[in-house]
Amino acid sequence: MDKRILVPTDFSKNALNAIRYALGLYAKLNCEFYFLNVFRLDNYTTATLIMPEPGSAEYEAAKGASEEAFAKLLDMLELHYDNPKHSYHTISSFNFLSEAMKRTIASKDIDLVIMGTQGATGVKGIIFGSNTVNAMEQIRECPVMAIPDGLRFSTPKEIVFPTNYKSAFSRKELNYLIEIAKLHNATIRVLHFTKKTVLDEGQETHKQLLDDILNSVDHSFHTLTDKDIARGISSFVESRNSDMIAFINKKHFLFHSIFSRPLVKEIGYDATVPILALNEP
């Protein structure tokens, strides 16, 4: 079965950039790409009691503008990204982005979401847009990958995987990470932050399990002590020119300690590589 990838777009440069990265990352696989645009109506707000109905002039004009933008996008992709392994589908939806994404994931059996970190209204200085943060927090049905603004696709050769070894791992939650590593012959660098010099018995068991799960790909284990986690990841990635960060989104535990917007803004973390948020099965 073809891989099914959802890419939300507001037709901004950053959204187009995320599409280009997705096409490059999965160039070797048969994929169906679903491009989702959530269109808005200028005069409609959540406080409005009357929902605009399909068929009304305002609704149809907004939907038509979305479909027209999609036609231009598909023309561009056909011209510059003609890959016989890929097929494209477009969805124009009047909805909240998170709800539209969840409905599409369910109805189209989506495997992975890839989205840009800023949209057309992106505010300079905010690394992750609120839509991306919300998607990583709320979508549990499949992994979510965030592509930084302006990042051009290059073959990922090193993926950093931060962990504390406090929970057991499963092949199911790591299969997308392993698939990407195999696709591009990439090495996974497992990065552990600790103030202790040794792991406890449970952590050792979990580390051994992770080693077994990753045995089909090149991987290595690294430890940083007494370091701020977010700064540590950033400096590790920068010093090694790593190409991606992947982490398991264990119901906000690691996510909020590394990638939440307040902390991002506070320490000036600069997202220069894609972030892959994996979910517990």
Q: Between the CA of residue 176 and those of 90, 155, 186, what are the distances in Å? A: 24, 16, 13
* pLDDT tens for each residue of 56-100: 777 888 888 999 999 999 999 988 888 999 999 999 998 888 889
More confident residue, 159 or 82: 159
The C-alpha atoms of residue 129 and residue 278 are separated, in whole angstroms, by 19
Q: 152 in a domain, yes or no?
A: no
Q: Between the CA of residue 41 and those of 16, 60, 132, what are the distances in Å? A: 22, 10, 22
Q: 240 in a domain, yes or no?
A: yes
Query: Among 112, 147, 182, which residue terminates a domain?
Result: 147
User: If you ran DSSP here, which 8-state letter would residue 163 be given?
Assistant: E
* pLDDT tens for each residue of 164-221: 898 899 999 999 999 999 999 999 999 998 877 788 899 999 999 999 999 999 999 9
User: If you ran DSSP here, which 8-state letter would residue 153 be given?
Assistant: P
Q: What is the CATH number of the domain that holds 213?
A: 3.40.50.620
Strand ranges (DSSP E) for the chain? 3-8, 31-38, 86-93, 112-116, 144-147, 158-163, 187-194, 219-225, 244-249, 275-279
Residue 109 confidence class, pLDDT cut points 50, 70, 90 = very high
Residue 218 and residue 100 share a domain: no
Per-residue model confidence (pLDDT) at position 213: 97
> Considering its fold, how many domains does the chain have in total?
2
Residue 169 and residue 97 share a domain: no
* Chain mean position to CA 200: 32
Residue 75 and residue 36 share a domain: yes
Residue 63 and residue 27 share a domain: yes
Residue 140 and residue 7 share a domain: yes
Residue 143 and residue 9 share a domain: yes
Q: In what order do the strands lie in the sheet with 3-8?
A: 86-93, 31-38, 3-8, 112-116, 144-147, 275-279, 244-249, 158-163, 187-194, 219-225
Q: 120 in a domain, yes or no?
A: yes
DSSP assignment of 239-261 equals HHT--EEEEEE-TTHHHHHHT-H
Q: Are 229 and 269 in contact (CB under 8 A)?
A: no
Query: Among 147, 166, 194, which residue terminates a domain?
Result: 147
Residue 220 and residue 185 share a domain: yes
Domain range for 75 is 3-147
Residue 177 and residue 269 share a domain: yes
Residue 235 and residue 138 share a domain: no
Q: For the chain, what is the mean pLDDT? A: 83
pTM of the model as a whole:
0.86
Q: 153 in a domain, yes or no?
A: no
The C-alpha atoms of residue 255 and residue 246 are separated, in whole angstroms, by 11
Residue 142 and residue 177 share a domain: no
Residue 203 and residue 141 share a domain: no
Residue 230 and residue 119 share a domain: no
Burial zone of 47 (CB within 10 Å; 0-12 exposed, 13-18 middle, 19+ buried): exposed
